Amino acid sequence: MATLIINGQEVHAEDGQTILEVAKANGIEIPTLCYHPLLEPYGACRLCTVEIIRRGWSQLETSCTYPARDGIEVKTNSPPVIEARKAILGLFLSRCPNVPVIQDLARQYGVTEPPFPVKDPEEKCILCGMCVRTCHELVKADVLNFSEAGPERKVGPAFLEKTRQCIGCGACTIMCPTGAIEIVMERDAVYKEKPLGPTSAIWVPSMQAVPRVPVIDTDACIRFRQSDRTEGEIADACGVCQMICEADAVNFDQEDEVIELDVGAIVVATGFEMWDPGQLSQYSYGESPNIITGMEFERLSNAGGLTGGEILTAAGKKPERVAIIHCVGSRDHNAHPYCSRICCMYSLKQAHLVRDKTDAEVYDFYMDMRTVGKAYEEFYERIQKEGVTFVRGRGAEVEVLPGGKLRVKGEDANLGRMVHVDVDMVVLSTAIEAPHDADRVGSLFGLSRSEDGFFAEAHPKLRPVETNTEGVFLAGTAQGPKDVPDTVAHAGAAASMALALLDRGEVVISPQVAVVNEELCSACKTCISLCPYTAISFIEEDNVARVNEALCKGCGTCVAACPAGAIQGRHFTTQQIMAQIEGLFRLPGKQVEAEVPVAEVEGAAS
C-alpha cells in the first residue's frame, strides 16, 4: 500500500497501480485517448501527462504508465501540465481537425484552431495504437500493425492489403477513440446474415427471463471464433467479459448438457417465428437495405439498438417517406391463409414512431384494419389524426429504382384503381408462423397440429389450453397467433391448469384403454411406432409389448394395427360390441344367441 498526494488530496494506492488508475478510483479526472483497463498502458497520446514532484524535483510524466509510489506528489492541472496538453492537442487538431472528441478537448484548453497546416481534413487516426494492441493482445489475430514512418506512418494490415486473417469482430472499432475504423462487409453478409449490422456476442435472450442470465453466442464471440478458426491453437483470445465480471460467473469451458427431470405437468410455450418475406419475390426483400421487416424496424427504433433509437436509412439519413405494408405472408394462399393478429397493431405503432421521430410521410397499405382489443380502435383513430395516409388495398409490389428510391405499387380499393408511391424506406409487416421444429416437439409430447402448423388444443372453446395428452398444456402462441394480452391470459390459464393437476395428488384415468394379450403378442413392435401417445413399451425380459394405462387414451390405433390381434380395447372387445349390436336389433320377447367366431370368443375369454 502506497500513500501519495494528488492535487493536495491524500490518496492510497494498491501495489502495481498507476497514477491514472488511482486518480480514476478517487474521482480525479485526467484526460486520455489511449488508455483502456484491459490493455497494457502505452502512453501514446500523452494527454494524460501530469507533473510528478519527488524529493524536490519536478518532471512531466504520462500518468497511465507511471507507477503510484509512496511519498510522491502529483499535480494534474499545473501550468506546465496545461501547456503540455495544449501543445499535444494542437498537434492532434492539425492532424485530425474534424474529429469531435479532439475538438471538444482542444476547446476545453483554449485551442480553437490548428496551429499547423492541415494535410488531410478527413483524417481521423491519431496513431494511438489502441486498435493494434487490441488486435494483438485481446483478439490475437495479429492483423493490424504500424507501417511506414514519420509523417507517412499508418495503421493497417500487412502491406495495407486485404487479408483473410481479419475475422470482422469489430473490437478495433470499439476501442478506437476517434472513430477512425469502420467495418466494411460484403452486401450478402450485411443484408442476409445481419440485416441491421453486427450484434453483441453476449446478450440476455429475454428481458423477462427468470433467471435473467446472459448467454454467449459462440458464432459471434471472438474467443470461440478464433479457437474454431485455428483449430484450437488460439484458445485464449479476448476473454474481456471474464476479466471484468465481478461475480466470476463467465465460464468458457461450460458445455451444453441434457438434464432429465421427473415432472407431473408440462407447459408447452414454444412461441412463434417470423416468416421470411424473401419467399415472395414481389417485395424485393434483400435487394435493398431500406426494405426491412417489422422486427428489424423494432431493432432500428430501439434506444439500445445500433442507431440509438433513431430511424435512419442505410445512408444514415432520416427518411422523408416511409411505406408500411400489412399482411406480408398472412391471409395469402401463397404463404399463410390465416391472419397473424398482431400485424395491424404493430404496424400502427411503427407508423406512429416514424411520424414522431422523423416527421416523414407514412403510407400504410392494408387490406382490413383488424383492431380487436381494448383501446385498439381508439389508437387507430389517433394514428389517423397524426397524418398517416392509409391506402386500403394490399401492397402488391416493391420495386428498387436505379437511384436507390423504392416504388411501392398497390391497389386502392376505395378509388378502384392501382396506385404507386416512391419512398425511402419500406417496412414489411410479416406473418408469424409455427416454429420450424414444431413437428419434432409435437411427436415428443404426442401433440397434434392444426392446419396452420400450430399445436391443436383439446377443444377450441371448452379446453383451449389442454391437449389430448394428459398433463401437457399449451401457452401463448404455441396454440396459435395471439397478441400480448391474449398470450398473457392464455399462459396464466395454462399455469393454473398445471397447478390444479399437481394439487390433486391422485389422477383418475379412463378405463377405456388398450390391453395386450401377452400370449398372442409376437413381439413385432408395430404398435410401439404407431402409438401417438408413446404409451406402449417393449419389455425385453418377457419379449412382449405392454401398455402404460396412465398414458393410453384408448384411441384404438394399436388395436387396428396389431397383425397378431393381440391388442384389444378394454370394454370394447368383439364379444362386447356384438352383444351391443344384438341388443339393438333383438325382437321383444325373443332370445337370440350371438354368433361370434369361436377364435374370437376364445381370444376374448383369455
How many residues comprise the chain? 606
Side chain identity at residue 393, one-letter code: G
Residue 582 is predicted with a pLDDT of 87
Coil, helix or strand at residue 467: coil
Residue 419 is predicted with a pLDDT of 93
Whether the pLDDT of residue 602 is over 50: the answer is: no
Complete DSSP assignment for 201-228: SEE-S-TT-SS---EE-TTT-HHHHHHH
C-alpha dist (Å) from residue 91 to 102, 158, 320: 10, 27, 41
Per-residue pLDDT tens over the stretch 534-561: 889 999 999 999 999 888 888 889 999 9
CATH architecture of 273-427: 3-Layer(bba) Sandwich (3.50)
Grid coordinates representing 231 are: 483449430
d(CA 474, CA 461): 14
Whether the pLDDT of residue 103 is over 90: the answer is: yes
User: Strand 389-392 relative to strand 154-156: parallel, antiparallel, unpaired?
Assistant: unpaired
**Mean pLDDT (whole number) for 338-353:** 95
Residue 379 is predicted with a pLDDT of 95
Per-residue pLDDT tens over the stretch 298-327: 988 988 777 888 999 988 899 999 999 999
| C-beta of residue 516 within 8 angstroms of C-beta of residue 497 | no
Q: Is domain 514-605 given the CATH code 3.40.50.720 in the classification?
A: no
Tell which wins on pLDDT, 80 or 166: 80
Residue 604 is predicted with a pLDDT of 44
Question: What is the H or E stretch that residue 375 is in?
Answer: none
Which residues make Cβ contacts (< 8 Å) with residue 191, sequence separation at least 6? 286, 289
**Mean pLDDT (whole number) for 504-529:** 88
Per-residue pLDDT tens over the stretch 230-264: 888 888 888 888 888 888 889 998 888 899 999 88
d(CA 14, CA 18): 9
| C-beta of residue 407 within 8 angstroms of C-beta of residue 398 | yes
Residue 337 is predicted with a pLDDT of 94
What are the sequence ranges of the domains in the chain? 2-77, 273-427, 438-504, 514-605
Whether the pLDDT of residue 364 is over 80: the answer is: yes
Assign domain 2-77 one CATH number from 3.30.60.50, 3.30.420.590, 3.10.20.740, 3.30.470.20: 3.10.20.740
Spatial CA neighbour of 554 closest among 585, 531, 537, 587: 531
d(CA 12, CA 26): 9
Grid coordinates representing 560 are: 387396428
Q: Percentage of the chain surpassing pLDDT 90? A: 54
Whether the pLDDT of residue 192 is over 50: the answer is: no
| C-beta of residue 323 within 8 angstroms of C-beta of residue 274 | no
Spatial CA neighbour of 468 closest among 489, 445, 452, 487: 445
Side chain identity at residue 55, one-letter code: R
d(CA 467, CA 449): 10
Whether the pLDDT of residue 598 is over 50: the answer is: no
